[in-house]
Amino acid sequence: MERLARTPVTPKGYEELQDELRKFKDEKPVVIKAIGEARDQGDLSENAEYHAARERLALIEANITKLEDIISRAQIINPTTLSGSKVQFGATVTVYDEGRDEEITYQLVGEPEADISKNKISVMAPLGKALLGKEEGDDVKFQTPKGTRELSIVSVEYI
């Protein structure tokens, strides 16, 4: 059997995945009970509560399966144990965008914990790939849906 690839995650990201899994597992019995109660109301063909609960259960089960898979393949990497001047997984990188005249700080994380609203970008995203292996002072170019962007690396930290 082919061994599935490990998925890098930070300790915080791993904890968040486990919390999310726990929430779905806690919700599942509640939804199963709601299905039973809706079933007791009789005619299922026109029972909206029953169909909504069945759909919710299917979504919960799919999320549980997905999260269990991610967690089983997780390779926890603590950025605070890393060092060096090159950008690698877990690095907190501050970049300067000359076109927008602003500095932005990102953390390079694994796909499961990437969240641009929290400035956590996947090492597999175009910017993440462009940053890997670069150092403070380097310029990086990468493609976005709106075209090519260029940023300058201001600092690389492992915090």
Domain 7-76 matching CATH 3.40.50.300: the answer reads: no
* Reported pTM: 0.83
* CATH assignment, 79-157: 3.10.50.30
Question: In the sheet where 139-144 sits, what is the strand order?
Answer: 120-122, 102-109, 92-97, 147-157, 139-144
Amino acid at 122: S
Q: For the chain, what are the domain ranges?
A: 7-76, 79-157
pLDDT digits 0-9 by tens, 5-63: 899 999 999 999 999 999 999 999 999 998 888 888 776 677 788 888 999 999 999 99
